[in-house]
Amino acid sequence: MPGPNQMDEDTFAQTYSAAIANVAGTAGASYTSAEQAIINNLVTAVNALNAALKQAGITQQD
């Protein structure tokens, strides 16, 4: 299978990596407030990276 954002040699069609789902949810009450902040910030960062990959055409839109 061709890599992300490359042309398929047989069909000359543009190919992409599969769509990646955003991370859903937030850290629950079983974590301390500091741990919740870290987890929630990581969720935000992963979703921002995912959006940037989609915007750049590297992965498919949902």
When divided into structural domains, the chain yields a total of 1
Q: Which of 26, 47, 50 is nearest to 38 (CA)?
A: 26
Q: Examine residue 50 and state whether it is found in any structural domain, yes or no.
A: yes
10 part of a folded domain: yes
pLDDT in the model for residue 35: 95
Q: What is the pLDDT of residue 21?
A: 85
- Residue 3 — pLDDT band, cuts 50, 70, 90? very low
Q: Which amino acid is at 42?
A: L
Average confidence (pLDDT) over 40-48 = 95
Parent domain of 14: 6-55
The verdict on residue 1 lying in a domain is: no
Q: Residue 12: left if φ>0, alpha if ψ -120 to 50, beta else—which one?
A: left
Residue at 61 is within a domain: no
pLDDT tens for 7-39 read: 667 887 776 667 788 898 889 999 999 999 999
